[in-house]
Amino acid sequence: MSYEKLLACKEAVRKKTDFVPDVALVLGSGLGGFADNIKIETEIEYKDIPGFPVSTVPGHAGKFIFGYLGDVKIVCMKGRVHFYEGYDVHDVVLPARLMGLLGAKILFLTNAAGGLGEGFNAGDLMLITDHVSMFAPNPLIGPNLDELGARFPDMSEVYKKDLQDIIRNTAKENGIELKEGVYCQLTGPSYESPAEIRLLQKLGVSAVGMSTVNEAIAANHMGLKVCGVSCISNLAAGLSENPLSHKEVQEAADKAAPLFTKLVTESIRKFK
């Protein structure tokens, strides 16, 4: 991806709004209702931004929502594209980079994920403390965008400890049980086999999904503070009786939605 393409997207947004967000939030499955908590300033559909990746799935909302959550200025992504849809990984991270260029200092990533950590159950929420990226394409491959960051970025604290503490404390204050662990992105779209899940357990992975790490790497590269929470929508292959289905994943994510929304909303209020 060229820096010029990013700048062109930024220009297109700036023609519609001069809103400068503090926090960027990617809404995963189960957080669809999050926007109800926002005092909306303006919305911009992805399709109105030239060059912006738009989901191939018919009926999938794809838009930025700009507004206020309490005192915090926020931009939310309702709808995201995934590598498994066939997009170049550079296009997958364009939205995260764009939100950084619009002024966001923090990127809050959410997703629905399969659980494989000790004691994990469907419906759990998991604070992401770190990730395993090497089964997913690295979005920084290719010429370095020097305007954004370093060729060889440090990755020793992608998910910032101070943000983790805020999320942990918010969970405690609200009586929300919060697991913690390492998230691993795989390419999908097929779910993992039981043998792959046993392998990932040995590697110290607690949750698997098909998003998030691409964005986290690109955001960390450009100096954004990253944090993330997964909704464990199901146990991974071999850990429960049920075969995996997208429908089941979505239903479980919807069931966990109220607590998930509460945790994310109340945490972001404290980011100011």
Q: Summarize as ranges the residues that interact with ligand 6GU (CB under 6 A).
A: 112-114, 186, 188, 191-192, 208-210, 233-234, 236, 244, 249
Catalytic (active site) residue 248 = no
Check whether 4 is labelled as a binding-site residue.
no
Query: Least Å distance between CB 158 and ligand 6GU?
Result: 19
Phi-psi region of 213 (alpha: psi -120 to 50; beta: other; left: phi over 0): alpha
Is 28 exposed, middle or buried (CB count within 10 Å of its CB: 0-12, 13-18, 19+)? buried
- Alpha-carbon gap, residue 74 to 22, rounded angstroms: 6
Q: Determine contact, residues 133/187, Cβ cutoff 8 Å.
A: no
Count how many Cα atoms sit within 13 Å of the Cα of residue 31 in the half-sphere of its side chain. 29
Task: Exactly one of 1, 104, 210, 236 is catalytic; name it.
Answer: 210
Q: Catalytic: 85?
A: yes
Candidates 134, 157, 177, 246; catalytic one: 246
Q: At its nearest, how many Å lie between ligand 6GU and the CB of residue 50?
A: 31
Per-state percent for the chain, helix, strand, coil, to nearest 5? 35, 25, 40
If the CB atoms of residues 111 and 170 are measured against ligand 6GU, the closer one turns out to be: 111
Tokens 């820096």 sit at which residue?
Answer: 3
Could you give the angle at the alpha carbon of 91 between the alpha carbons of 136 and 184, nearest 5°? 20
Closer to ligand 6GU by Cβ: residue 48 or 196 = 196
84 is catalytic: yes
The answer on whether 55 is annotated among ligand-binding residues is: no
Confirm whether 246 is a catalytic residue: yes
- Answer for the pair 101, 52: CB distance below 8 angstroms, yes or no: no
User: Active-site residue among 1, 35, 37, 82?
Assistant: 82
Q: Cβ distance 126 to 227 under 8 Å?
A: no
Q: How far is the CB of 208 from ligand 6GU (least distance, A)?
A: 4
Of 92 and 186, which has the nearer Cβ to ligand 6GU? 186
Nearest distance, CB of residue 232 and ligand 6GU, angstroms = 8
Strands 179-185 and 125-132: parallel
The catalytic residues are 29, 60, 82, 84-85, 112, 210-211, 234, 246
Residue ranges for the known binding site are 29, 60, 80-82, 112, 192, 211, 234
Q: Give the residue numbers of the binding site for phosphate.
A: 29, 60, 80-82, 112, 211
Give binding residues for a purine D-ribonucleoside as ranges. Answer: 192, 234
